[in-house]
Amino acid sequence: MNHSTPEPKPVHLAVYDTFADWETGHTTAYLARAGRQIRTVGPTRESVTTIGGVRIQPDLALDELRPEDSSLLILTGADLWDTGDDLAPFARKARAFLDAGVPVAAICGGTAGLAREGLLDDRAHTSAVSFYLAATGYKGGERYVDADAVTDGNLITAGPTEPVAFAREVFGLLGVYEGEVLDAWYRLFHDSDPEAYAVLEKAGQ
């Protein structure tokens, strides 16, 4: 009998024009190093250009993405979240993921997209600042938490200046790093703590 652990489902990274490059680099790099497959999903399969001028060819289009084929949807920040409804379909996809019990992690402008979709009305969350989300007209202001990053069930949120805390929450939710290894990873990249490096070396990370 074969009792081998099944391969984890891919992590899906939303990509679109004006995607903020710096916000998910720690997350995707260390998920990949831990053996997780990263697949990019765009509005279509046409290439997109990040805010840093990097062109990305999406692996699949948004309408091809199904929650049951994924372990996590990451909604990256982008200027387009605040200039119209171009990215609203990604927030609707996030609703489908959460309804199916599949995690969603949103950073920066992605949190505003979730707010407009009503997904933050009843969940603890954070963002850049509270009044940024308040401007969306959402009803979840009382659930706003002034923290680096917040996990509520299957939903992670963070502001644009907290890519390391965002990654920490993703790793913890997916069980990629745990306990003192997760803490050491955060201290190394957030605080440049040299003692944390020794913990990671000992753990083979």
Active site residues: 108
Q: Which two tokens stand for residue 66?
A: 């199904």
Residue 85's CB is within 10 A of a number of other CB atoms, namely 11
Say if residues 32 and 8 touch (Cβ distance below 8 Å): no
Long-range contacts of 29-35 (CB under 8 A, 24+ apart): 30/167, 30/171, 30/176, 30/177, 30/185, 31/170, 31/171, 31/174, 31/176, 34/171, 34/176, 34/177, 35/8
Helix H or strand E encompassing 164: helix 163-174
Helices (H), 83-143: 88-99, 109-116, 130-134
171 in helix, strand or coil? helix
Q: Which two tokens stand for residue 124?
A: 């603890």
Say if residues 12 and 73 touch (Cβ distance below 8 Å): yes
